[in-house]
Structure 1
Amino acid sequence: MYEGNNPIALQSRTWMVNALIALMEERQYQKITIMDICKKADLSRQTFYNIYSEKDDVLRYYFRNLFREEPYNLELRGRLKLSDITDLFSKFLVEQDTLLKLMVKNNLEGIIFEEMSASVSTCTTGATPCNQYATHKYGNAFFTGALTQTLICWFKDPERITSEELSELLYKILTGNYYEICK
């Protein structure tokens, strides 16, 4: 996937992202071809393959770029409290509602997981106790898996709770104040 700063390539990326999202609103992701994306974006296949390797890369780019920007870039926010993270996650669900719904509907949760995992890993590397780096990846897997599965559940629930209620619920679960489990 292209990682340069050429303004024309960056603009082409944006057009392809917008084209893919528009096409996903019309039909199933699996039925969308590279040619469909190029036609909708008014770009050549050559341009597509100069920037991306495959269709999934368009969505990966979108989330990677999104997670680098404020307010979603956890690394830019400094030392975060757990409530900051659960609030930010709920805000993310609301602000990215259309695309996330489409991705869940099209079974593209793996892309969401991969990009959230990379973002969480960047943030938590500095927050991991210095003697715990060997287990860092397990903590990230647990945390990212929990958030991704919560996202999937929330979007599939026809009577879902509000994003604020979800934030509070996640906070209670992650702080051990939700389940009453006897030791």
Structure 2
Amino acid sequence: MRLIVLHGLDYLLELELVSVIQVFAEQMSPGPAGELDEYATAFLSGVISHMILHWFRSEKPVSQEQLSGLLYSILAGNYFQIQNDT
């Protein structure tokens, strides 16, 4: 995988990651397909594929466990929190 990234072919990896994540997201959708599902799937696939590509490009990548823990924390809403300043 790192060779793919090093040789500038990461767009192929990104396309494949996006397709796999889209299939996964469709199966995990919380309800019947709605008009916003494709946007939610596009968001999720973009986030995960870019995170993985960043990991491959990193000089000192974190462990797989750290990466999956971070992803879980973000998706569970425990990493970034929107503050209401009113």
The TM-score range, normalised by the shorter chain, is: 0.7 to 0.9
Report the Cα distance in structure 2 between the residues aligned to 1:121 and 1:156, rounded to whole angstroms: 23
Unaligned 5+ residue runs, structure 1? Answer: 1-99
Shift of 1:146: 1.0
Alignment of 1:1-183 (within 5 A): 100-128=1-29, 129-132=31-34, 134-183=35-84
Shift of 1:139: 1.6
* Equivalent pair of 2:14/2:53 in contact (CA under 8 Å): no
**Larger relative contact order (Cα-Cα within 8 Å, sequence gap ≥ 6):** 2
Unaligned 5+ residue runs, structure 2? Answer: none
* Equivalent pair of 1:173/1:179 in contact (CA under 8 Å): yes
Misfit runs of 4+, over 4 Å: none
Map Cα deviations across residues 30-53 of structure 1 (whole Å, 9 max, x no partner): xxxxxxxxxxxxxxxxxxxxxxxx
Q: Please report the TM-score for the alignment, with normalisation by the length of structure 2.
A: 0.78
Shift of 1:124: 2.7
Percent identical: 27
Shift of 1:131: 4.8
Report the Cα distance in structure 1 between the residues aligned to 2:65 and 2:27, rounded to whole angstroms: 28
Aligned CA-pair RMSD:
1.8
Instruction: Give, as a single letter, the amino acid of the residue that structure 2 aligns with 1:165.
Output: Q
Report the Cα distance in structure 1 between the residues aligned to 2:36 and 2:66, rounded to whole angstroms: 31
Shift of 1:180: 3.9
More helix as a share of residues: 1
Q: Please report the TM-score for the alignment, with normalisation by the length of structure 1.
A: 0.41
